[in-house]
Amino acid sequence: KVSIIALNELPDGHATTTEFNAWLKDRKSRWAASRAAKKAQRAELARYGSNRSAAGTGGNTGGPLVKKNVGVADFVRNASLAASMGFWQVIEIQETDIAGEFVVWAMTAPTQLQRLNVVIPRILYVNVTAAGKDAQAAAVGLGGVRIRKDLPHGKQCRELFEVSIPERKFQRNERALNLFLCDAQVEGVYESQVPLWLRGILGMGCVSTVNSRASSTNNRYYKLQDIDLVHTQSHPYLTHHTAHYRRIYIYYAADRTRVSGDVGIVALFQLESSNYEQLQLETTLLQQRLENIPQNSGHVAGDLQAVPLSGKAYVWLVSRGANLEKAPFKRIYRKFQPSETADVKFVQNYVTTLAQAWTMCNERLTLYQRERHGPTIVIVQGGAGTDTTSTAAANNNNSSAKVSNTTSTSGVGMDARQWRHVLPSLHDYPLAVMPANSLDSLFPAIGWQLFCAERMVQRFLIFPRWFDDRLTAARYAHIPLCNLGTDALTTMIDVTFSRQLLHNRHLLWCSEGTGPDLGKGNSTNELLDIWSEALKEPVINVPGVYRGACVELDLYGLAVCAIMSSGELDAEGLTTLALAGGGGGSGGGSAAGAMAQNAGNNASNDSDDENNDNHHSGSTAFAGAAAAHDEGPVNVLLEGIENTSDASCARAFNIFKAMIAKCIEEVSSSHSSTSPSSTSTSTDGTAGIADSILTAVYRYLCGYGNGLLSDPLLHRVIYGLMT
């Protein structure tokens, strides 16, 4: 118990020596008491760390357990200490039904998974004219703080105010706020369409901790500004030593070609061991195999493979037919997994409707939670192209509300919100959605049970590798594992590009709609000008009969090469984009190496916008990291240039180029590490992720991945460099 006593204030006026000594003695006693309290708190946390195997929520993780009687009070205190003073290994940032409140699933100890509540505010940037005194006073009244940042498309930064308000207040007063923003003195409002989940990822990352500014009186809700992002080099993310967790895999497929009734399959795979136990088992078996392999054998690496997963599968086949035979799941599993080290026991049942299958699967999840197996991550897959999801969900919840049919045959499947709607028990687990295959919903007319069984087993055997790849991507981009979405590359580019823009004091133009959010000041003519020039893909095909040879030339990496060669192209006068400092490929790569993904560890030469007297962001010199040390022609942009010109996005292009240069540097360094004694950066999959990002760059620019920062003007600039 800590008693709070008000400290004596220093006497006003000219205090005597006696009064000052008395005041100082009182302060020293308070300081000593504070140090003693902090020391006791650290000792309590250390005691919790040594006994976390007994106090945590996890079960047996393969290591020795400390036998200790832990009461409810100790359990709550240990969990509170771990959340407030430990590291958060964030698995998922889950949106709730309450505006602005999110549930954060995080590992706060190796065997402890906590459900934490975080409040994320709505942050707006209001650009007011210099003569708009009333609008400036209103912005200050809303809690606005005057700052200076670069605006999208080179717009002029006049009097920019940063306003942070709760999301519930923003939605409740949205009409009044829109009337204020329609004022003639307000040039535009920016970042009003940034999703709150993206704001949470940018602020927390995949590893975070509570800073000293957080209030210790109420641990029920945390504010986003009270949480600091921690680099994965300082604290590993979901490794075998820092997090012990289990996994559950749920598969679902329904036939969308039949109209006679519900036909499908729902399966729940409960893995037998945790990731820590799996590592110990793999280590033991690999050591045994290594002892049996001759020392002069050259096939050691090929013989030592990961141990397949074992567990128990509950399968529900949905059909209205009668006299249905059981599918040979055991034989099918051995067909695709002949290894004797893995064994999956199948329990199958027939139900007549999908609602019954969902109900039984939900009961199995509830029973699993009551058995207290420890921290568990649920991976779900399926639902692509089905029309029965909403009906099953409504029947399962006995409610008239239905899930909107947003699934398609593109292989995306149901999202996390739909999965939690049909299976309410998933609200008690972090949920990772695995992309579905639309072909799984095309059942044959005869023998559909065998077809479903084979597809289900194949998807189950694939999911561990998919999970490991997602875990590598989460560590690379500092994104929670379950927030990568179905298109991980697009999410990684969105988050990485957003962090670089924010670090270089540039506002975001994120939008979940069809176009970028460029503020209220965007006129219709300006937006039409961006999309009016249809970009022609560099494809030339003239079929016919010719007296000559026909050569088909495929170019790979053209967009990346054009971005990195923008300095040379501008020097030759081949582009309309003026680059200050050249922006050559080699210099950009070396300078971008200092641009780390964590914005807190980066350094930039253009963050001091307050000292820049030129208010035209589009007319400032290119000073990004990718062109900081390049040697080339310096082209000064005219102040009268319009915002719809290619040069207006020069600032954003430079930051985007720095991100691409960083990926190229990581790929090149991994390829150059050929010596066994050299240090390779590809041991953790960094080079592979960076290479995948480079491959997906042009798809992202074209907007095919529905990127939040997809900008047609930036696409047009890079397209001009390519052609």
Q: What is the CATH number of the domain that holds 166?
A: 3.30.70
Residue 595 pLDDT > 60? no
What's the pTM? Answer: 0.75
Over 80: is that where the pLDDT of 598 sits? no
140-148 average pLDDT score: 87
Residue with tokens 């059942």: 443
For 639, other C-beta atoms within 10 Å of its C-beta total: 11
- Count the helices and strands in the chain (H runs, E runs): 23, 16
For residues 354 and 496, membership in a common domain is answered with no
pLDDT top residue among 565 and 54: 565
Mean pLDDT of the chain: 75
Mean pLDDT of 220-248: 90
Beginning with the edge strand found earlier in the chain, give each strand of the sheet holding 207-210 in spatial order: 221-223, 112-119, 101-109, 87-95, 207-210, 227-229
Q: Which helix (H) or strand (E) is 398 found in, with range?
A: none
Within this chain, do residues 219 and 262 fall inside the same structural domain, yes or no?
no
Q: Tell me the CB-side half-sphere exposure of residue 518, using CA atoms within 13 A.
A: 23
Range of the domain at 164: 122-192
Please report whether residue 39 resides in a domain. no
Supply the pLDDT for residue 83.
81
> Can you give the pLDDT at residue 321?
72
Domain count, the chain: 4
Within this chain, do residues 683 and 555 fall inside the same structural domain, yes or no?
A: yes
Claim to verify: residue 516 and residue 551 sit in the same structural domain: yes
In 177-200, which positions are buried (b, 16+ CB within 10 angstroms) versus exposed (e)? beebbebebbbbbbbbebebebbb
CA angle, 381 then 491 then 625, to 5°: 160
For residues 244 and 376, the answer to whether their CB atoms sit within 8 Å is no
Is residue 242 one of the residues assigned to a domain? no
| Range with top average pLDDT, 516-530, 578-592, 698-712 | 698-712
- Please tell me the distance from the alpha carbon of residue 235 to that of residue 430, in angstroms, as a whole number: 21
User: Side by side, which strands form the sheet with 376-382?
Assistant: 344-351, 311-318, 264-271, 246-254, 376-382, 431-434
Q: How large is the C-alpha radius of gyration of the chain?
A: 29
Beta-carbon contacts of residue 477 (< 8 Å; ≥ 6 apart): 491, 492, 495, 496, 597, 689
What is the distance of C-alpha 248 from the center of its chain?
A: 21
Could you tell me which residues come within 8 angstroms of residue 270 by beta carbon, excluding any fewer than 6 positions away?
A: 248, 311, 312, 313, 314, 368
At residue 235, does pLDDT exceed 60?
yes
Measured CA to CA, the distance from residue 28 to residue 24 in angstroms comes to 6
pLDDT-based confidence at residue 206 (cuts at 50, 70, 90)? very high
Same domain, residue pair 417 and 540: no
Q: Higher model confidence: residue 23 or residue 587?
A: 23
Q: Is the pLDDT of residue 510 over 60?
A: yes
What is the per-residue pLDDT for 691?
92
Instruction: Give pLDDT, residue 593.
Output: 35
Q: Is residue 507 part of a domain?
A: yes
Residue that is last in its domain, among 426, 444, 477: 477
Across residues 476-481, what is the average pLDDT? 95
Same structural domain for residues 451 and 515? no
* Res. 3: pLDDT tops 50: no
Q: What mean pLDDT comes out for the span 134-154?
A: 86
Q: Please tell me whether residues 141 and 95 are part of one structural domain.
A: no
Judged against a pLDDT cut of 80, whether residue 689 lies above it is answered with yes
Q: Residue 660: name the closest of 636, 685, 620, 627 by CA.
A: 627
pLDDT of residue 422 exceeding 80, the answer is: yes
Q: Looking at the structure, tell me whether residues 221 and 274 fall in a common domain.
A: no
Tallying the residues shown for the chain, one arrives at 723
Confidence label for 645 from pLDDT (cuts 50, 70 and 90):
low
pLDDT at residue 157, rounded to an integer: 87
- Please check whether residue 656 lies inside any domain of the structure: yes
Q: Is the per-residue pLDDT at 318 higher than 60?
A: yes
Question: Which single residue is written with the structure tokens 């040069």?
Answer: 647
pLDDT for position 582: 36
- Decide if 162 is inside a domain: yes
pLDDT for position 306? 55
Average pLDDT over residues 569-578: 60
Least-confidence region, from 223-227, 234-238, 359-363, 628-632: 628-632
DSSP state of 709: T
Residue-wise DSSP of 430-485: -EEEEPP-GGGG---SS-HHHHHHHHHHHHHHHHHHHHHHHHHHHHHHT--GGGS-
| 325 vs 31: which has the higher pLDDT | 31
Rounded to an integer, the average pLDDT of 569-592 is: 46
User: What integer pLDDT is reported at residue 454 of this predicted model?
Assistant: 93
Q: Does a structural domain hold residue 236?
A: no
Q: Residue 386 and residue 381: Cα distance in Å, rounded?
A: 13
pLDDT band per the 50, 70, 90 thresholds, residue 537: low
Over residues 635-660, mean pLDDT: 67
Helix axes 488-503, 196-204, angle to 10 degrees: 70
Q: For the residues 494-503, what does the mean pLDDT come to? A: 95
Q: Is the pLDDT of residue 429 over 60?
A: yes
- The string of pLDDT tens digits covering residues 184-198 is 888 888 998 999 999
The one-character DSSP state at 429 is S
Last residue of a domain, one of 452, 477, 502: 477
- Per-residue pLDDT, averaged over 576-588, amounts to 41
Residues 144 and 100 in one domain: no
Confidence of residue 611 (pLDDT cuts 50, 70, 90): very low
For residue 588, the model assigns a pLDDT of 36
Verify that 553 and 670 share a domain, yes or no: yes
Q: What is the pLDDT of residue 511?
A: 87
Least confident of 311-315, 422-426, 499-503, 598-602: 598-602
- pLDDT recorded at residue 589: 36
- The one-letter code for the residue type at 514 is T
Helix, strand, coil % in the chain, rounded to nearest 5: 40, 15, 45
Residue 4 placed within a domain: no
93 assigned to some structural domain: yes
Same domain, 538 and 686: yes
| pLDDT beyond 60 at 531 | no
pLDDT of residue 57: 42
Same domain, 216 and 266: no
pLDDT of residue 535: 63
- Pick the closest to residue 652 from 60, 291, 154 (CA basis): 154
Please give the pLDDT value at position 563.
Answer: 92
Residue-level pLDDT at 272 = 83
The pLDDT value recorded for residue 13 is 55
Instruction: With a cut of 90, say whether residue 397 has pLDDT above it.
Output: no
Query: Would the pLDDT of 508 be above 50?
Result: yes
Structure token pair of residue 59? 């079960």
- Contacts of range 533-540, beta carbons closer than 8 Å, 24 or more positions apart: 533/716, 535/715, 535/716, 535/719, 538/722, 538/723
Q: DSSP secondary structure string, 135-194?
A: HHHHHHHTT-EEE--BPGGG-B--EEEEEEE-HHHHHHTHHHHHHHHTSTTEEEEESTT-
Across the range 656-678, mean pLDDT stands at 78
